[in-house]
Amino acid sequence: MRRIREVLRQRWGCGLSERIVATSCSLARSTVAKYVQRAQKAGLGWPLPDGLTDEELERRVFPMESPSEAGPHVMPDWMEVHRQLSRKGVTLRLVWEEYKAVHPEGFQYTQFCVRYRTWRETLDLPMRQEHKAGEKLFVDYCGQTAPVKDRKTGEIRDAQIFVAVLGASNYAYVEACWTQSLPEWIMAHVHTFQYFGGVPALVVSDNLKAGVSVAHRYEPEVNRTYEDLSEHYGCALLPTRVRKPKDKAKVEKGVQDVERRILAPLRHRTFFSLAELNEAIAPLLVQYNDRPFQKLPGSRRSLFEQLDQPALRPLPPHPYEYAEWKKARVNIDYHVAIEGNFYSVPYQLVNESLDVRITITAVECFHKHKRVASHLRLQRHGQYTTVTAHMPKNHQDYAQWTPERLAHWAGKTGPDTVCVVESILRNRPHPQQGFRACLGLMRLGKEYGPERLEAACTRALATQTVGFKSIESILKRGLDKTPLPQKTPEKPSLDHDNIRGPEYYR
């Protein structure tokens, strides 16, 4: 409600200047001057007539012609104007210019804007928000969960409900997931884009940990995997402000509708798997998107087909493959350790910190946003993969750790330690792959002493269990201090003239 009464009281009743009235009422000086001029034109003075309400006062100061009183002006189809404004790049001035081209005697731009905004006030608040077609997708989880029962044990597990809503059409996608973890968060987005058949320009998300690593009002830090997803689909991520639900009001309303229109009707049903729950959600989602609007013509689906669908960006040739990002430092053997396996990188990057992208099938290493190595992902624990091009021509050019130096160090400990080091280096496809184990032996020598290390190596050679883990176990259990196991004596031969063999009894 405009503060016309207070402006007139202070200006005419108190005799204050327009500047002081503007400061007191928190209005622009031009607004105060407009109120006073319009009140004078309406024949008003101070004090105002008794019984004049604020609504009547506003109607007298800002009279609006009814459609029947519009005279030669042709009233625009405000619903069509509202729909056109949802299209990308369309402005109110452009729509007015098109209107004037058809109706030269129609409203001027100012009256056109005033009348449109007045009509827009008759819509519900969520409908009054203006979103360009194909521009924003709002995503969130429902606060309400859906129970899923284990058929064998009877245990009940709550499934999370993912909701995505397009800004211009309110067209929605719903999916049940087990958790709100990063892998399921990412896959829900992939399924959403496939369901819509395209990609919006912006994805507006909450500050949940799967999407935003560090929440911040001005510079939130988006999860690297989530950012990788946006790069793959060619869209941008826009995290909301913390504790500002109005930043994603579309999906907040969508979540409420999903809880009422989809989850509530399913409350009496028992589901025994996540797939069964999603199968039950699918037809209710179709009904929800096809449900007619109350104050607008059409439905979410019809608006989606008119507005969002033509404006969405095309899907890439292949869906996003889930990947996680980790930091890894390059060891002196120019390998990085990822989940118990070792992958080579160019030897020049020794001691550098790399970004490693891990998918189901591959491991990619990046240095300063440039990919420096790519390997097939190893499945068994403790494996090495080494690219010959990553190896130096002369190991002394990049580090002092060479097979010769390791053998020289082992010679100071004892001959059996030398045999163990040579065996480790000899049994690998590349000697450098055994550097890490040899350095581990050096650490054991410092921890337990050279005498015990030599004794442990002697025992490992005797039992044919040469390896770092075996020697470490011998030292931890103190087996190096016990006598070596004796070889089992050979059984004497039973061949003799006085001994009947089995053939005698046949």
Q: Is the separation of the CB atoms in 175 and 193 below 8 Å?
A: no
Alpha-carbon distance of 459 to 465, in angstroms, equals: 8
Q: Bridge partners of 353?
A: 329
CA angle 401–407–410, rounded 5-degree value: 110
For residue 2, the model assigns a pLDDT of 64
How confident is the model over 235-264, as pLDDT tens digits? 888 877 655 555 556 667 888 888 888 988
From the list 490, 495, 459, 489, the residue with the least C-alpha distance to 477 is: 459
For residue 216, the model assigns a pLDDT of 44
Cα-Cα-Cα-Cα dihedral sign, residues 110, 116, 119, 122: negative
Alpha-carbon distance of 88 to 300, in angstroms, equals: 18
Q: For strands 362-367 and 202-205, give the pairing.
A: unpaired
Q: Is the separation of the CB atoms in 418 and 411 below 8 Å?
A: yes
H/E element, 342: strand 341-344
For residue 68, the model assigns a pLDDT of 41
For residue 125, the model assigns a pLDDT of 43
Tell me: cis bond preceding 183? Omega within 30 of 0 counts: no
Helices (H) and strands (E) in the chain, counts: 19, 15
Ranges of the chain with pLDDT below 70: 1-2, 64-73, 88-89, 122-130, 207, 209-221, 241-251, 394-402, 429-433, 486-506
Distances, alpha carbon 150 to alpha carbons 81, 158, 185, 480, 491, in Å: 53, 11, 23, 52, 60
Contacts of 477 (CB under 8 A, 6+ apart): none
Q: Is the separation of the CB atoms in 420 and 410 below 8 Å?
A: yes
SS3 77: coil
Query: In the β-sheet with 384-385, what is the strand arrangement from edge to edge?
Result: 335-338, 341-344, 384-385
From the list 498, 431, 441, the residue with the least C-alpha distance to 467 is: 441
SS3 125: helix
Tell me, rounded to whole angstroms, the distance of Cα 103 from its chain centroid: 49
3-class secondary structure per residue, 39-73: HHHCCCCCCCCCCCCHHHHHHHHCCCCCHHHCCCC
Alpha-carbon distance of 190 to 199, in angstroms, equals: 10
H/E element, 147: strand 146-149
Nearest-10 Cα torsion for 429, 435, 437, 438: 120
From the list 210, 191, 203, 116, the residue with the least C-alpha distance to 166 is: 203
Alpha-carbon distance of 386 to 336, in angstroms, equals: 11
